[in-house]
Amino acid sequence: MLNYLLSSLKKKSHRRDIIIRYASYLIILLYDNKLYQQNLILRNVESDGENQENYGNRNVLSEMSARELEQFISHETVGLLIFGACENHGDHMPFGSDFIMPFELAKRVAARYGKKIVIFPPIPYGVSSHHKDFFMTVSFEPDTMMNVIRDILQSLVNNNIRRILIINGHDGNIAPIELASRIIKERNPKVVISCLESWWTLVGSIDKELFDVWDGLGHGGEAETSAMLAVRPDLVNMTVAPKDVIPKLPDNIRIYWKFNELTGTGATGAPRKATRTKGDKIISILENVLLAFILDMEKNQWKYGIDSSSNT
């Protein structure tokens, strides 16, 4: 096209200015396109570099292709599952807090471990019937949740994943996780199924000086709000955090309450005591606990109990 325009100069001199103008535009477009292609290559290289350092994003199964998955699969692969919930956490916190934080935690653990971990897509719903008096609670029936967990676990086993670690983000999931895990373990004795059941009670027991109120406990309370401030501060609005709600409950005997018996705000505990600093400490504690567990299990080829003595 450029040659055609230039040759037209000799034939139609009265159009010379117009043709020169269009020829100049074309040259600029061709040059800009070359620069665009070069910049596109640079952006892709930079993007790949960022993804590799972005808290284990490259370990997430739902973001992998079949070819990418191959590098993560061996008899030593650890399958990491996250179970959460969708429910009111007070006016200041998102409905998905129970899976958002564990998912981010899983990616950070995978990035630090640096070996073969596959993070499966988090399950954003759980057993939340005790929260259903609060608007937009989405809940599975307990037997449904148990069956979902059982089927996911069996799927991992069917794909030769024998080392499984669960990070649970919601109290209502604890019983279904245990039931499903025991069923799969009975069917597949060589599989190892492990679980961080309730991180919100663990952190307060490890660092007894970390929290100001009620050992950090509470739904959308001091610990949970702090943890979200650490991983997704854009989803937390501290200006509308409710006042402290510390329900009266017995110390040694458990009551199976409904949540509207404990609070009228969707949150319990002391969310206004939450800080990013506390949240960073929570995430650090949990990262260290999970990584130490994985490395310790790795030393014994994920054998434990009586079997582990032969490797020591």
Question: Hey, what are 282's tokens?
Answer: 């929570």
- Averaged over successive runs of 10 residues, the pLDDT of the chain (312 residues) comes to 51 53 50 43 38 68 96 95 98 98 98 95 98 98 98 98 98 98 98 98 97 97 98 98 96 96 97 98 98 97 87 54
Residue 224 lies in a domain: yes
- Buried b vs exposed e over 165-180: b needs ≥16 C-beta within 10 Å? bbbbbbbbbbebbebb
The reported pLDDT for the residue numbered 57 is 85
Domain of residue 149 covers 61-300
Residue 155 lies in a domain: yes
Cβ atoms of residues 271 and 217 within 8 Å:
no
pLDDT digits (tens, 9 = 90+) for 215-227: 999 999 999 999 9
Contacts of the segment 181-190: beta carbons below 8 A, 24+ positions apart: 181/149, 181/153, 183/150, 184/150, 184/153, 184/154, 184/157, 187/154, 188/154, 188/157, 190/162
- The residues, any chain, with a CB within 8 Å of residue 301's CB and separated by 6 or more, are 311
pLDDT digits (tens, 9 = 90+) for 89-126: 999 999 999 999 999 999 999 999 989 999 999 999 99
The reported pLDDT for the residue numbered 307 is 83
Residue 306 lies in a domain: no
The reported pLDDT for the residue numbered 34 is 46
The reported pLDDT for the residue numbered 56 is 72
pTM tops 0.85, yes or no: no
The reported pLDDT for the residue numbered 308 is 82
Residue 308 lies in a domain: no
Residue 12 lies in a domain: no
**How many Å apart are CA 107 and CA 278, to the nearest integer?**
20
Residue 21 lies in a domain: no
Residue 267 lies in a domain: yes
Q: How many domains does the chain have?
A: 1
Residue 191 lies in a domain: yes
With CA atoms as reference, report the closest residue to 104 among 272, 269, 236, 286. Answer: 286
Cβ atoms of residues 229 and 235 within 8 Å:
no
CATH of the domain at 148: 3.40.50.10310
Classified as helix, coil or strand, 223 is helix
